[in-house]
Structure 1
Amino acid sequence: MTKKQIRTGIKGNAMFSSMKTMAYSQLERLSGSRQALVGAALTRIVLGAIGLYYYLRDYFHRSFLWGPEGVWPWQNFTGPDNDAFSLYSLSKSETWFQLVFHAGAVIALLFMLGWKTRAMTVLHYIFLWSLQHRNPVLLDGGDNATAIALVFFIFVDSGSRFSLDARLSRRKQVRPDAGSMRYRIGSLLHHAGLLAVILQVCTIYLVSGMYKVQGERWQNGTALYYILRVGEFGWPGVNHLIYEHATLVVAMTYATVFFQLAFSFLLLKRSLRPFAVTCGILLHLGIAVCMSGLITFSSTMIALELLIMGDEHYLRLADKMRKLVGKRDGLEPAAGAV
């Protein structure tokens, strides 16, 4: 073996050793502590509020919209073409419908408040999925994002902040054993769930942006003009303030496409994440205001974007807010965070 081959081998071993050390370091960091707990809690609260909104929005018309004799025929709901599971399909009884419907509303509230958070996440997913598939005509796109996110949220520790679980843990002075195997496995699953939700958001933006760049009206900058003129979603007296200004419409059209395509790449740099999340929230607030029929979709996307920023971002934001209002209301970790 020549000296050159020996040197090459030594360099290769050193590189492999360095990569191995880095991998163990990352594994130790991800298993030894849990990140984005504030964002996870905020996402849980907003998703729970959206779920509760589904139940309360048309509460007095619930039997007409989702009941056994509702507007969506029972044979369509239980027919061979509909293979999606739903608790409402287990019985055509009005009593069963009322029981499942009200149980789902209570579970959505408990999920939002963070009581037995992990169990409520599973139950909220099952009950909300069942309601959505009882009448698919009422869906607006936010339901798909919610259903996917709730599956991943089962693994996320979303109850260690701003929850009844965290409050109870503080009272009992329960602290997690960060060195235990249970905690470390839970932390890895927590971060895997966070990553899955973030990738879902990135996929939504990237696919949406790719479809837009293929459209002629998005290419010539007139797409938002036609969207804002749709009577079913528009807000009378507001939308015309935008679509009557051609330069503004063109700028907003191109800005929407550029942002959606760039969103995933902005997240690669940690310092740009607050900027990306802020732009995303403003985008969906604009959709919620100018396209009032897509409120739940916009709210769902805002909820999922709150998960992206780390705890340090929220702490800095809280410090700035305290300086502005002169109040102390910390986002300190809960004593019983697990």
Structure 2
Amino acid sequence: MNRAPATLSHALTRVTEAALGPYQSAVIRIGFALTWLLYLLREFPYRQELYGPSGPWSLAMVRRLTGDNHAFTALTWVNGQPWFEFCYALAVLAGAALLVGWRTRTASVLFMVGVVSLQNRSIFIGDGGDNVLHLMSIYLVFTRCGQVWSLDARRAARAAAARARGERVRADRTGPALWAVLGLALVTATATGRLFGNSWLIPALLWAVWAALGLWWLVQRRARSDEPRILLDVIANVLHNGALVVIMAEACLIYATAGWYKIQGSRWQDGTAVYYPLHLDYFTPWPGLAGLLSASATMLTIVAYGTVTVQVAFPFTLFNRRVKNVLLVLLILEHAVIAVALGLPFFSLAMITADAVFLPTSFLLRIGRLAARARGRFVREGGGTVPAPRSPEESTSGHVGFTA
């Protein structure tokens, strides 16, 4: 009779007491930051034509469009080359900071602003991977994605070890300085009427995150009891776990809609949907490889039916771990082939990163150990020292606030 209440109580405890999926959220952070950073660096020589004020999609056209669809972009605030260069450089730096996990909370906010601003500046540039990156950049703001595999986690672990030895830990000054600078920027943009010019969602989110960081710092420094700290930690855990569920649901929705849409047409049934892209100049960086893949009608049919089957079936396999892992490998291989055969590396990398939320923790831990060994071997060959490994519990402490 008491089994149902006990189960509900256990589920609520799991959702509130910890931020679940620390390694999955870290992989998502690293993957999307790497995708965005590589894209910005590759397109750096062409940034003027793509997003600059002198590009074919003029600033006047952008302002007219964002006035109708209420999209947020900071590139319309000032009409000039210096402002564009500043925004582009800020997007690159935010992607790099999020990649290594430096001040992850602030970096995730700036990362979102960079992604949304550039993509809404030129909406006709990009593909499905850009849409995924656009959405995930917003979801990442709500996650505690710096718990592991980040500079924030390493700094928190070192501070915890120093406290355990009875040493005094120096107060953080970088975090409050970043908070003050961002607050000044928000006040200036709001007072001049630019922040809430066309959109309210992203600006409201920016103000909410800024206020939450200030509240967290105040509670950590001034609260006389642990109850306010525990309450804020519970709220952060709930937001993180909810955002992680939304990311998983988004990935399932992408595959479900894509698979069921393919079923409705005949082009995926006879293999032409696979054949024709392999013979378009725009999608054939390796003509010899494309010709080899499309030479057999049987192979085209297998690829077409296999793609549809895996995409439709994947959301239903989440309740069976073994089947889910098999289909997950097939999806990752499919995107890897698309990256090479069709020349869509950023689309494939974005989709593989979205798939990574379903990877088993044991597999991610194994990958982390292999990476740590490779790093240790590299440091030893360079004459450096390798720090002692830390447990996940140590790595996840103290990651909220200005450091996450």
**TM-score, normalised with respect to structure 2:** 0.73
| 3-state DSSP of counterpart to 1:220 | coil
Change (3 A) 1:319 1:95: closer
Structure 1 contact 30–188 (Cα < 8 Å) conserved: yes
> Once the 2 structures are TM-superposed, how far is the Cα of residue 332 of structure 1 from its aligned partner?
4.3
Distance across 2 between alignment mates of 1:239 and 1:285: 14
Structure 1 contact 267–276 (Cα < 8 Å) conserved: no
Tell me if 1:253 matches 2:308.
Answer: no
> Once the 2 structures are TM-superposed, how far is the Cα of residue 270 of structure 1 from its aligned partner?
2.7
Distance across 1 between alignment mates of 2:56 and 2:254: 31
1:297 to 321, 341, 347: 347
Distance across 2 between alignment mates of 1:245 and 1:295: 25
Structure 2 contact 22–148 (Cα < 8 Å) conserved: yes
Task: State how 1:58-69 maps to structure 2 within 5 Å.
Answer: 58-69=43-54
Distance across 1 between alignment mates of 2:107 and 2:281: 38
Map of 1:24 onto structure 2: 9
Distance across 2 between alignment mates of 1:88 and 1:125: 14
**TM-score, normalised with respect to structure 1:** 0.86
Task: State how 1:103-114 maps to structure 2 within 5 Å.
Answer: 103-114=90-101
The C-alpha deviation readout for 1:47-105, integer Å capped at 9, x for no partner, is: 11111123211212222321111121222111144532211100111111111111111
Distance across 2 between alignment mates of 1:132 and 1:284: 22
Distance across 2 between alignment mates of 1:162 and 1:319: 11
Tell me if 1:70 matches 2:46.
Answer: no
> Once the 2 structures are TM-superposed, how far is the Cα of residue 258 of structure 1 from its aligned partner?
0.1
> Which amino acid in structure 2 is aligned with residue 265 of structure 1?
F
> Once the 2 structures are TM-superposed, how far is the Cα of residue 188 of structure 1 from its aligned partner?
2.2
Distance across 1 between alignment mates of 2:299 and 2:371: 32
For this pair of structures, how many residues does the alignment match? 319
Map of 1:6 onto structure 2: none
Map of 2:282 onto structure 1: 232
Distance across 2 between alignment mates of 1:21 and 1:218: 48
Map of 1:271 onto structure 2: 322
Which consecutive unaligned segments of at least 5 residues does structure 2 have?
A: 164-219, 221-225, 378-387, 398-404
Distance across 2 between alignment mates of 1:278 and 1:43: 17
Change (3 A) 1:90 1:321: closer
Instruction: Tell me the C-alpha RMSD between the 2 structures.
Output: 2.7
Task: State how 1:1-338 maps to structure 2 within 5 Å.
Answer: 14=1, 17-79=2-64, 80-81=67-68, 83-173=70-160, 180-235=230-285, 236-292=287-343, 294-315=344-365, 332-333=391-392, 335-338=394-397
The C-alpha deviation readout for 1:113-140, integer Å capped at 9, x for no partner, is: 1111122111111111101121222211
Distance across 1 between alignment mates of 2:372 and 2:99: 25
Bigger Cα displacement from structure 2, 240-249 vs 129-138: 129-138
Structure 1 contact 39–309 (Cα < 8 Å) conserved: yes
Distance across 2 between alignment mates of 1:139 and 1:224: 21
Which consecutive unaligned segments of at least 5 residues does structure 1 have?
A: 1-13
Distance across 2 between alignment mates of 1:318 and 1:146: 24
Change (3 A) 1:166 1:198: same
Structure 1 contact 35–310 (Cα < 8 Å) conserved: no
| 3-state DSSP of counterpart to 2:282 | coil
> Once the 2 structures are TM-superposed, how far is the Cα of residue 225 of structure 1 from its aligned partner?
1.3
Distance across 2 between alignment mates of 1:51 and 1:331: 29
Structure 1 contact 76–82 (Cα < 8 Å) conserved: no
Structure 1 contact 273–309 (Cα < 8 Å) conserved: no
> Once the 2 structures are TM-superposed, how far is the Cα of residue 317 of structure 1 from its aligned partner?
6.0
Bigger Cα displacement from structure 2, 73-82 vs 237-246: 73-82
Change (3 A) 1:214 1:136: same
Structure 1 contact 318–330 (Cα < 8 Å) conserved: no
| 3-state DSSP of counterpart to 1:268 | coil
> Once the 2 structures are TM-superposed, how far is the Cα of residue 269 of structure 1 from its aligned partner?
1.7
Distance across 2 between alignment mates of 1:183 and 1:231: 53
